[in-house]
Amino acid sequence: MASIFGFRSRDPARDRQADVSRLDRLAKLFEQIATEIEAERAGLENRYRTTATNAAFLVEAMENGSASDRRSSEVSALTTSILNCERRIAALSRQDGMMKELRHSLDTVFDENADSAATAEFSRPAGAGRG
């Protein structure tokens, strides 16, 4: 049986260092994911504009008689593509909002830990305070 006097707790500074390291990894992961979301959204928005422009020119050409009515299937395909882009852009916007909320929550956790370990002197995790 272990003696109660044999129990030793870790130094609070060491605990704080472990917390900062863990929160730093999370902060970097959230930032990486947010960057991926933004890159996907930017590329999709560019394709969306191109598709919408092509659809508008095709419809105008059909109305002016410059293009045959048989190209209406192309208009339908472009319309479907535009709607899919709009749905995906909305989903990416929700994901981006969630990443910002998670990042803010991480700052809140860090601040709570800082209050409970005010004697330890360590820096904030990467990106802390940005959100």
DSSP state letter for 123: P
What's the predicted TM-score (pTM) here?
0.70
The model's pLDDT over 3-31, given as tens digits with 9 standing for 90+, comes to: 567 777 788 889 889 988 999 999 999 99
Residue ranges of the domains in the chain?
38-116
Phi, psi of 70 (to 5 degrees): -65, -15
What are the tens digits of pLDDT across the range 86-114?
999 999 999 999 999 999 998 888 777 66
SS3 109: helix
Closest CA to 67 of 58, 75, 76: 58
CA distances from 122 to 18, 29, 30, 76, 126 (A): 11, 20, 21, 59, 12
Query: CA-to-CA distance for 70 and 117, rounded, in angstroms?
Result: 72
